[in-house]
Amino acid sequence: MKKFLSMALAFTLAFPVVAFAQGALKIGTVDMQRAFKECNKTKDAEAKINDAKNAAKKEYDDRAESYKKALDEINTLNKQLDAPALSADAKAQKAKERDDKIANIKNMEREINEFRQTRERQLQEQAMRMREGIVKEITDIVMEKVKANNMDLVFDKSGMSLNGVPVLMYSHDNVDFTTDIITVLNKPGRAISSEKTSTSPSATPARASKP
């Protein structure tokens, strides 16, 4: 066991010597979190997501208002049914009207819940597609930089380990090229696929009709 550990330690110590004997490694670092945050397309996409959220909230509020109105109508009918002067025929008619409204409001309640769940899922999926598209674009630009400069290793400075510790504990500032990546990202006229940042609803609720 001791012999095995001694051999492993010797190999570990020898590895850097072999690596540097073949030539110094060209290492770079990128702060992916900063690049994503300072990307103009991120800000634009987030604005579109917020617009979609506001539109969904308005539609939800409209449905909730219609539900409240229907509930008030049912309560009014219940009060009328309690009136002692109401004839038997009138009472039967109002009871039927109330029961119909109760059945309708149950459908409205179900549709409102389905609408809320569907819209929440759609917004989450849209935000994920937006993020994936921009992260891919940042990664592509990083790889262009890697190939142009024949770099050996690139680390994400914002990366965290499973233990919550930064993966990259320390690096010289002169190996960081995050600013260069951001400059390319925000270059005027640079296009991005609309498919990745689209915020229009991908589907409509199957059973959620407008009141």
Where do the domains of the chain lie? 24-197
- The mean pLDDT of the chain is 81
Residue carrying structure tokens 């002169």 = 174
Q: What is the pTM of this model?
A: 0.66
The predicted-structure confidence for 3-27, as pLDDT tens digits, reads as follows: 433 444 344 444 444 444 445 889 9
pLDDT band, very low/low/confident/very high, at 173 (cuts 50, 70, 90):
confident
Q: Are the C-beta atoms of 95 and 81 separated by less than 8 Å?
A: yes
Q: CA–CA separation, 204 vs 209, rounded Å?
A: 10
Q: What are phi and psi of 155, to 5 degrees?
A: -110, 145
Query: Based on the number of CB atoms within 10 Å of its own CB, is 96 exposed (0-12), middle (13-18) or buried (19 or more)?
Result: exposed
The predicted-structure confidence for 87-139, as pLDDT tens digits, reads as follows: 888 889 989 999 999 999 999 999 999 999 999 999 999 999 999 999 999 99
Q: CA–CA separation, 153 vs 24, rounded Å?
A: 11
